[in-house]
A and B are shown apart, each in its own frame.
Chain A
């Protein structure tokens, strides 16, 4: 069950004209910078402030996966292919001064610092199911902003049919990239209507904390109705494209991993069934839900499509 905020509970930025609140932010930034200089601490500007997020904007009547499990059982091949490798190898990963290049079919391309890309005033907590293609699942409270609000600022043109994402490539900082297990950089993509869907989230934190390195710090995608590998981690580039972009697991094995990769209990992976899943923390398997339980929200995106063909 998903609880969505009632229209009456509108937020400040929705009633304040954008130009005014942007001015206000610029003023506050200026004063903070001044304070920083006075205190002699320079990295004050770098960190994104998470403290003001709105809790439980989207929630679920399901138990959260323990933080401990969500942060030590990860598929993040940039830090090793074992489930516990990312927790072991990502500790020193430095994500300060993170910049993201935005380009392709849009009017306002550019390179932008994370704290300028994500408005900390708009951060909200959303509790989503996460279903891995390997038939296990978790329930995670993400902190982020809807991807749509972020993308609109760059004014995608009518040619922007897809959105492509790329992860950082830096084998020194991401030791798993020293082996060509995958064709680096990790790439993912969404159709523009999927990217603009209100459930699609750009996350910068989870469990009330900044995003742990092993979960895709400092910024990752969360698309709750698709298999987990679509939710690309440590993003450094976002491009609007006219053609369907290449995506890593599809390049790796096109027969097994499609571009869409929507959670679908009726379409098996060629090697294993997707009908059931093991929720982390449970012993027996439970049934997998169509679109991971988000059928009411997203089924219309795929109306008329043969989901066996577009897996």
Chain B
């Protein structure tokens, strides 16, 4: 693999955060900066999750195995954006008060869904290293299948907070559905057989 690909991919994944920070420093986050940062970090956590799950289909379509070597970095960026999303909410909405945050999680189903998705991401981020892959062996793969329930939780979290305009949330939900369907045996005929493992 070209040695430039990983650093470039790193910058690509980081660019939404650079954009947010840039807006905060020189530009303008709008009338409600907390909301802007909360929404943008949440959007990018979900988008990078979709990208992470698109890498394996991309390999099947293009035949280039390099896609798979970007998966760990993409997945860690999902955790980075999801954690930023959680932290700005915990800080600005709950002033870092755990009891207040916990009450919100218990009372609001859409928050409970998002919070669960973020909690489930933690073990995946921790065990993303080669060392952990070796130590867990076959169980590593089973553990990392958590990414599918995480995706469903994240999409439901998004859809549930919409007031009337489902367009944006709907597009993300549709992409998530396509990526899940790709992995169903029934839809295997759409894949290029010679490339499927």
Q: Mark A176-187, 1 if CB is under 8 A from B, else 0.
A: 000101100000
Set of chain B residues within 8 Å of A121, measured between Cβ atoms:
none
A273-B31 contact, Cβ under 8 Å, with A81-B165, A182-B164: no
Interface size on A, as a range, is 20 to 34
Contact of A283 among B92, B104, B164 (CB under 8 A): B92
Set of chain A residues within 8 Å of B30, measured between Cβ atoms:
72-73, 83-84
B35 touches A136 (CB 8 A): yes
Set of chain A residues within 8 Å of B32, measured between Cβ atoms:
73, 83, 136, 278, 280
Contact of A77 among B95, B110, B164 (CB under 8 A): B164
A271 touches B161 (CB 8 A): yes
What residue in chain A is nearest B160 (Cβ atoms)? A271
Q: Mark B51-84, 1 if CB is under 8 A from A, else 0.
A: 0000000000000000000000000000000000
Set of chain A residues within 8 Å of B107, measured between Cβ atoms:
268, 273
B21 → chain A closest CB, angstroms: 17
A81-B92 contact, Cβ under 8 Å, with A273-B104, A273-B108: no
B108 touches A271 (CB 8 A): yes
A90 → chain B closest CB, angstroms: 16
A72 touches B108 (CB 8 A): no
Q: Mark B19-49, 1 if CB is under 8 A from A, else 0.
A: 0000000000011101100000000000000
A31 → chain B closest CB, angstroms: 44
Set of chain B residues within 8 Å of A84, measured between Cβ atoms:
30
Set of chain A residues within 8 Å of B108, measured between Cβ atoms:
271-273
B144 → chain A closest CB, angstroms: 31
Set of chain A residues within 8 Å of B167, measured between Cβ atoms:
81
Interface size on B, as a range, is 10 to 19
Instruction: Classify the interface of chain A: helix, strand, loop or mixed.
Output: loop
Distance of A197 Cα from B27 Cα, bound (Å): 43
A50-71 interface (Cβ within 8 A of B) = 68-70
Set of chain A residues within 8 Å of B31, measured between Cβ atoms:
68-70, 72-73, 83, 280-281
Q: Mark A280-295, 1 if CB is under 8 A from B, else 0.
A: 1101110000000000
Which residue, A77, A281, A284, has most C-beta atoms of chain B within 10 A? Answer: A284
Distance of A268 Cα from B164 Cα, bound (Å): 19
Decide if A157 is an interface residue (CB 8 Å cutoff).
no
Decide if A246 is an interface residue (CB 8 Å cutoff).
no
What residue in chain A is nearest B33 (Cβ atoms)? A283
Distance of A28 Cα from B56 Cα, bound (Å): 77
A61-100 interface (Cβ within 8 A of B) = 68-70, 72-73, 77, 81, 83-84
Decide if A252 is an interface residue (CB 8 Å cutoff).
yes
B164 touches A252 (CB 8 A): yes
A142 → chain B closest CB, angstroms: 18
Distance of A134 Cα from B108 Cα, bound (Å): 14
List 29 interface pairs A-B (beta carbons < 8 Å), by A numbering.
A70-B31, A72-B30, A73-B30, A73-B31, A73-B32, A77-B165, A81-B167, A83-B30, A84-B30, A134-B163, A136-B35, A181-B164, A252-B164, A268-B107, A271-B108, A271-B109, A271-B110, A271-B160, A272-B108, A273-B104, A273-B107, A273-B108, A278-B32, A278-B35, A278-B92, A280-B32, A283-B34, A284-B92, A285-B92
Report, nearest first, the 5 A-B pairs whose CB atoms are least far apart: A73-B31, A69-B31, A81-B165, A181-B165, A181-B164
Name B residues whose Cβ lies closer than 8 Å to a Cβ of A: 30-32, 34-35, 92-93, 95, 104, 107-110, 160-161, 163-165, 167
Extra A-B contacts (9), CB below 8 Å, given A268-B107, A285-B93: A68-B31, A73-B32, A136-B35, A179-B165, A252-B164, A271-B109, A272-B108, A278-B35, A281-B31
